[in-house]
Amino acid sequence: MAATLNLIGAGHVGRALGRLFATHGCFQVQQVLTRSASSAQQAVAFIGAGSAAAAYEELRPAGVHVLAVGDDQIVAACAALARAVPLRDSIVFHCSGALASDCLQAARDQGALVASVHPIRSFADPAAVAAQFDGTFCGIEGDAGALAVLTPALQVIGAQPVPIDASAKTVYHAAAVFASNYLVTVLDAALRAYQAAGIPEPVARRMAQPLATESMANVFRLGAAAALSGPIARGDLATVARQQDAVERWDADTGALYRALVGPTVELARQKQRK
């Protein structure tokens, strides 16, 4: 029989994982605990298994406990769980991309094995995520015994578990920020620069799209160094200096961003030349 699972926190991530684990029979969803009885009942209905719990004290022992709460609530939720439920030989894991599993020390002190499982995708629509989870990368780290159970369960629901260094968890999370959030910031600088040259914003977006799309495709196909083009890749640092001066005179903050990117791009160009 599959191990029982209690879900603490049932936002988009918790609901999607709960439905996936229940549907694929990896774990037997036992109880769901959220901030209110109504949201717990809604989560149970979405998952299609389990029952709602109104408080930590109502939770029964389980083989696995998932803390699908906000990052700022994980430590407190773990402590509350450790006070309320026997945890010896059970597994406790959280879903944060920014925090390592060592923040679950309260559970470890009670004899639990701990881990973190971070699905790398947007959970804006949990029903769509649950229906299309195949191929989703999950950064995992934690106690070997916990990962020995969680890794095959994740594979059953279609995930691709990727072990990460727990000591570099914050840098790992920053990677997603670079690949997503800061990419948007750089593209915004490009769009604003086009507009400063008199190009309407809708036209600027159409002009930037093929450049950005082809550059990203080349990075993922060839690697970053091989994909680099432009004046720095050609060694035309005089053009770079003129651009930097012009951008700084146009907008100081964008000029600082341009200046900050020159050094790393020069290093990429050196790597390209060595290959």
- The structure tokens listed for 72 are 């700022």
- As a whole number, the mean pLDDT across the chain is 97
Residue 250 has pLDDT above 90, yes or no: yes
pLDDT score of 74 more than 80: yes
Residue 75's pLDDT is 98
Q: Tell me what pLDDT residue 226 has.
A: 97
> How much is the pLDDT for 259?
98
pLDDT digits (tens, 9 = 90+) for 148-201: 999 999 999 999 999 999 999 999 999 989 999 999 999 999 999 999 999 999
Report pLDDT for 2: 87
Residues 223-235: tens digit of each pLDDT: 999 999 999 999 9
Evaluate if residue 114 carries a pLDDT over 90. Answer: yes
Residue-wise pLDDT for 118-149, tens only, equals: 999 999 999 999 999 999 999 999 999 999 99
**Is residue 52 exposed (0-12), middle (13-18) or buried (19+ Cβ within 10 Å)?**
buried
State the CB neighbour count (10 A cutoff) for residue 143.
18
Q: According to the model, what pLDDT value does residue 1 have?
A: 66
How many residues are recorded in the chain? 275
Reply yes or no on whether the pLDDT at 252 is more than 80: yes
Tens of pLDDT along 12-69?
Answer: 999 999 999 999 999 999 999 999 999 999 999 999 999 999 999 999 999 999 999 9
Question: Can you tell me the mean pLDDT for 89-93?
Answer: 98
d(CA 151, CA 100): 17
What pLDDT band is residue 275 in, cutting at 50, 70 and 90? confident
Sheet hosting strand 51-53, strand order edge to edge: 51-53, 27-33, 3-8, 64-67, 91-94, 113-119, 137-142, 160-163
Residues with Cβ within 8 Å of residue 91, at least 6 apart in sequence: 63, 64, 65, 112, 113, 114, 115, 145, 146, 149, 150
Domains, the chain, ordered by start: 3-166 (3.40.50.720), 180-274 (1.10.1040)
- Judge whether residue 214 has pLDDT over 90: yes
